[in-house]
Amino acid sequence: MGDDDAAAAAPAQRRTAPPVVITDPRTGRQVEMTKTAAKKLLKRAAREEKKEATKHERRAKERQRRKERRAQLREQRARDPEAHAPAPRPRAVPFRARVVVDLGFDDLMTADEATSLAAQLGYLYGVNRTSARPFEQLVFSGAGTTSSASLGFTPPHSGAHAFPPAGTAESSLFADRVGQHMEHKNRGSWRRWSRVHLAEFGGLEALLRPQADAPPPGPMVYLTADTDRTIDVLEEGTTYIIGGIVDRNRYKHLCAKKAEALGIPTARLPIDLEHVGQHMNARKVLTVNQVFAILVGWTETRDWKAALQRGLPSRKLHTATAEGDASADASADASADASADASPAGSPAGSSPDGGLSAPSPV
Ligand code: SAH
């Protein structure tokens, strides 16, 4: 056989290599494939199995490495405190107002929306913690006696989920889905968050009642896009309430109705030409973390323009139009935001390493 013949015969042989039948270790099913593909599949499965088996060991090693690194840093710092001291963070001066996130809408969210909201709570805490003018206290309150049904709203999928009944001993903040997410995240670290109070029972309604062991609740304002009143300044001593819900604008006027039912005044953020620098729908519905970022932006700068520019994602600014239709662009924004919620895209100054802060102006 000449060289040419051999070259012609070789590819033909490869094409006819008989398939093999193996058990796919991931699915347990019998699959037919080429010998090479089968080899690859089995190798990959063996690799994954080994990785899984050594997971704990690897993590322990990683912990040990971090421990050693910390000890090393401590030692270096002890030897030469000047050179290795961490850059001092400016002392935070709390803004003496409270922000309550009203988590009393768990039943109105889909599972994904509840997950998104839980992610936003972590972001919110991070923004407050790193701010030079943090809110003195963040309060997370859960289900109270005002049911969604009494406000005229029905849960998605006609309430196919099972929820702890509202307004009973079981309706603990920790029992519903957002609460459960938070309990499982970092071993329930939210219980140890500074400047955060978890109001376990009674919902927002309980916060309205004077408590024997606490100072009187003071004035409250429920923030909502669905009102004619606009916030002028934030005031110390006041409690600002944000509706803790991701609803992709499904439940219009939900929080305004709840506020009305509870006799709490409402106000919206000053989203207007003067502060945004371009036409934008004044009743723009923002996400919980955007609203909070704007509030902290204000405590830091005392300037709505600066606060809104930091808190509003640039996407919103660019898509805003003179006659921007409320419902259409709000719902499009809301769904896009849901995926971006956990990222500090709309983050205010407080979350950047140097805070990006201009010094808080004197009051
Ligand atoms: N359908 C819900 C929308 C939730 S958006 C509702 O009825 O409010 C999450 C929360 O952010 C709102 O409940 C409100 O507290 C706050 N919020 C959103 N946009 C706002 C705006 N333009 N002004 C003031 N608060 C706003």
Residue 347 maps to which CATH number?
Answer: 3.40.1280.30
CA distance linking residue 349 with residue 363, whole number of Å: 19
Domain annotation covers residue 155? yes
Does 48 fall in a domain?
no
Among left, alpha and beta (phi > 0; psi -120 to 50; other), residue 214 is beta
* CB of 290 shorter than 6 A to ligand 1: no
Q: Whose CA is nearest to atom 3 of ligand 1?
A: 249
| Span from the CA of 314 to the centroid of ligand 1 (angstroms) | 19
Ligand 1 center from residue 104 Cα (angstroms): 14
Residue 191 within a domain: yes
Backbone angles phi, psi at 60, to 5 degrees: -60, -40
Q: Atom 8 of ligand 1 has which residue's CA nearest to it? A: 255
| Total domains, the chain | 1
**Has residue 29 been placed in a domain?**
no
Question: Which of 141, 204, 224 for a ligand 1 pocket mutation test, highest count of atoms within 8 Å of Cβ?
Answer: 224
Q: Which atom of ligand 1 is nearest to the CA of 243?
A: 13
Ligand 1 binding pocket includes 268 (Cβ within 6 Å): yes
Q: How far apart are CA 271 and CA 143, in angstroms?
A: 30
For ligand 1, is residue 254 a contact (CB within 6 Å)? yes
- Residue 338, ligand 1, Cβ within 6 A: no
Instruction: Print the SS3 string covering the chain.
Output: CCHHHHHHHHHHHHHCCCCEEEECCCCCCEEEECHHHHHHHHHHHHHHHHHHHCHHHHHHHHHHHHHHHHHHHHHHHHHCHHHHCCCCCCCCCCEEEEEEEECCCHHHCCHHHHHHHHHHHHHHHHHHHCCCCCEEEEEEECCCCCCCHHHCCCCHHHHCCCCCCCCCCCCCCCCCHHHHHHHHHHHCHHHHCCCEEEECCCHHHHHHCCCCCCCCCCCEEEECCCCCCECCCCCCCCEEEEECCCCCCCCCCHHHHHHHHHCCCEEECCCCHHHHCCCCCCCCCCCHHHHHHHHHHHHHHCCHHHHHHHHCCHHHHHHCCCCCCHHHHHHHHHHHHHHHCCCHHHCCHHHCCCCCCCCCCCC
> What distance in Å separates the CA atoms of residue 149 and residue 138, rounded to the nearest whole number?
27
pTM of the model: 0.68
Q: What is the pLDDT of residue 139?
A: 96
Q: Which residue's CA is the closest to the ligand 1 atom numbered 13?
A: 243
Pocket test for ligand 1, best of 255, 290, 335 (most atoms within 8 A of CB): 255
Take atom 21 of ligand 1 and give the residue whose Cα is closest.
225
Q: From the CA of 242, give the closest atom in ligand 1.
A: 15
Distance between CA atoms of residues 322 and 312, nearest Å? 17
Which residue segment(s) compose the domain that 227 sits in? 95-351
- Calculate how far, in angstroms, residue 225's C-alpha sits from the geometric centre of ligand 1: 5
Residue 104 is assigned to a structural domain of this protein: yes
What is the set of active-site residues?
A: 247
Q: What is the residue with the minimal CA distance to atom 15 of ligand 1? A: 242
Going from the Cα of 175 to the center of ligand 1, the distance in angstroms, rounded, reads: 24
Examine residue 56 and state whether it is found in any structural domain, yes or no: no
Whether residue 102 lies inside any domain: the answer is yes
C-alpha 358 to ligand 1 mean position (Å): 27
Cα distance between residue 316 and residue 149, in whole Å:
32
Residue 250 falls inside a structural domain? yes
Q: What is the reported pLDDT for 318?
A: 52
Q: Which residue has the tokens 């809104």?
A: 308
Measured in angstroms, how far is the CA atom of residue 114 from the centroid of ligand 1? 16
- From first to last of its 363 residues, what are the pLDDT tens digits of the chain? 444 454 444 554 556 678 899 888 878 888 888 888 889 889 988 898 888 888 899 999 999 999 999 999 888 888 887 777 777 677 899 999 999 999 999 989 999 999 999 999 999 999 999 999 999 999 999 998 888 888 999 888 766 565 556 556 568 999 889 999 999 999 899 999 999 999 999 999 999 988 777 778 899 999 999 999 999 999 999 999 999 999 998 999 999 999 999 999 999 999 988 788 777 787 899 999 999 999 999 999 999 999 998 888 765 555 544 333 333 333 333 333 333 333 333 343 333 322 322 333 332
